[in-house]
């Protein structure tokens, strides 16, 4: 295989285990091909010039890491303004939370041009380039504009909304046209792929020239769904290590007389946290047998805290949890344990295993890896139940979970009750089916199938 070049907003050192499944999976191919990983260094330079940035290139074993600094103005426009202020909310169907400013769009384009210029200087003619996520949609078009002819693939980690929602983005035509500079565009789900097909046919009068192959603007792009997975073996190995076992034992001991429910999310408005907490309150209201028993452990790891919408949701959650604990709690039982902190990754499998039910109820999610981690961490003899939003990408695969509409608080409460009462035989049957899928479509399958398709597309 040619040398792999991965480009993403941020990068991780593939030698470090804390890097997570994606970095490990990409890292393997990067190592094998003596590859290059290119991205923003995470450093913001106060008085730097717009559209410029220092590049730091260093070796991590056989992998070259190239990290680019950004100046304050570029960072504000590209990252905060456009990627997180426009694309993140709109791609999660939240037109109400998008803030449009023309300066942000030009900053987004400027940084993509900067990435293209700096990356181009490091490329070899037969490199295979894989670009990741919504921060870098126009990168291939910018690379093509300066003469790059390499094969380039793109994977969108978040959902792609329907045409009518995309069309609300000022300059959506420019943004979506940029996808035609790629040879292969990957989405998380078949639903996202359908949205893409519908958009390009309706807005760009694209012709279908093969299976999921679209022609417009003198280019042909191959699109396909590649649902991302986790590194199951690695996560299960982590589950057998000391920290996870200790966490499992201590949690089980502390809650020996309780039924534990768990939620683990980045604190983000797409994750449906207020709706989840309200559904839990309704569970206590409507099914009083759960009082003094059911305990929800909600981990909300801090994320993008400088953005107003995130501060708002944090306050809403704190006040909801406080009210429920005040109304229902007793001196020996608190219904909700809300943790606004990042838990060490080594502890996660133990925590998942100690819980009877996982609540994975985003309003919209590209895939949702927590759902897959929960399944992978369960004891096959006595597995917990996954309650999963039908609006998570994972719901297309994990049909044996209990699927809910997170906007329907009452329906969700009823399903949580069903999960808490499920017989051992039904839990086992569902878990066997779920685990088989999580194992088959793991992160290595995802990486391999995307790259194989990219190598053979053109």
Residues near ligand GDG (CB under 6 A): 157-158, 228, 264, 266, 299, 301, 342-345, 348, 365-370, 373
Q: For the purposes of burial, counting CB atoms within 10 Å of the CB of 180, is it exposed (0-12), middle (13-18) or buried (19 or more)? A: buried
* Alpha-carbon span 376 to 360, nearest angstrom: 14
Q: Find the shortest distance in angstroms from Cβ 157 to ligand GDG.
A: 4
* Alpha-carbon span 419 to 405, nearest angstrom: 15
In Å, how far from its chain's centre is CA 215?
Answer: 29
275: nearest Cα among 78, 96, 410: 410
Contact 157, 179 (CB under 8 A): no
* Alpha-carbon span 161 to 151, nearest angstrom: 26
Q: Find the shortest distance in angstroms from Cβ 231 to ligand GDG.
A: 10
42: nearest Cα among 128, 135, 105, 104: 135
Contact 393, 262 (CB under 8 A): no
Q: Find the shortest distance in angstroms from Cβ 342 to ligand GDG.
A: 4
- Catalytic residue set: 157, 365
Buried/exposed 269-282: b ≥16 CB within 10 Å, e otherwise:
bbbbbbbbbbbbbb
* Alpha-carbon span 136 to 175, nearest angstrom: 10
């Amino acid at each position: 295989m040619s040398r792999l070049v991965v480009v993403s907003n941020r990068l991780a050192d593939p030698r470090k285990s804390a890097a997570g499944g994606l970095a490990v999976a990409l890292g393997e191919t990067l190592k094998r091909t003596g590859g290059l990983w290119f991205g923003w260094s995470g450093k913001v330079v106060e008085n730097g010039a717009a559209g410029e940035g220092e590049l730091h290139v260093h070796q991590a074993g056989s992998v070259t890491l190239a990290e680019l600094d950004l100046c304050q103005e570029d960072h504000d426009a590209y990252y905060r303004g456009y990627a997180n202020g426009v694309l993140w909310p709109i791609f999660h169907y939240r037109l109400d939370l998008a803030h449009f400013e023309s300066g942000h769009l030009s900053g987004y384009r400027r940084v993509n041009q900067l990435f293209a210029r700096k990356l181009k200087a490091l490329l070899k003619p037969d490199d295979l380039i894989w670009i990741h996520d919504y921060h870098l949609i126009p990168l291939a078009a910018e690379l093509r504009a300066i003469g790059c002819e390499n094969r380039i693939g793109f994977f969108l980690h978040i959902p792609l909304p329907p045409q009518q929602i995309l069309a609300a983005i000022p300059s959506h035509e420019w943004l979506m046209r940029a996808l035609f500079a790629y040879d292969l565009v990957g989405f998380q789900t078949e639903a996202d792929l359908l949205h893409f097909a519908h958009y390009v046919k309706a807005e760009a009068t694209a012709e279908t020239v093969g299976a999921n192959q679209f022609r417009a603007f003198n280019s042909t792009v191959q699109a396909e769904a590649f649902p991302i997975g986790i590194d199951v073996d690695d996560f299960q190995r982590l589950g057998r290590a000391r920290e996870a076992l200790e966490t499992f034992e201590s949690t089980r001991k502390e809650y020996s007389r309780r039924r534990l429910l768990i939620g683990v999310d980045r604190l983000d408005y797409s994750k449906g946290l207020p709706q989840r907490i309200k559904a839990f309150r309704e569970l206590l209201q409507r099914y009083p047998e759960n009082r003094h028993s059911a305990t929800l452990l909600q981990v909300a790891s801090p994320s993008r805290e400088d953005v107003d919408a995130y501060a708002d949701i944090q306050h809403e959650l704190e006040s909801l949890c406080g009210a429920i604990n005040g109304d229902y709690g007793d001196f020996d039982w608190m219904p909700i344990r809300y943790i606004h902190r990042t838990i060490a990754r080594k502890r996660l499998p133990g925590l998942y295993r100690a819980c009877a039910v996982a609540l994975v109820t985003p309003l919209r999610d590209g895939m949702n890896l927590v759902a897959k981690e929960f399944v992978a961490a369960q004891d096959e003899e006595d597995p917990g139940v996954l309650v999963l939003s039908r609006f998570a990408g994972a719901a297309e695969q994990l049909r044996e979970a209990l699927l809910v509409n997170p906007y329907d608080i009452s329906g969700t409460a009823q399903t949580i009750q069903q999960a808490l009462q499920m017989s051992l035989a039904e839990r086992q049957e569902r878990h066997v089916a779920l685990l088989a899928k999580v194992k088959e479509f793991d992160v290595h399958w995802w990486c391999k199938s995307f790259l194989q398709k990219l190598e053979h597309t053109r």
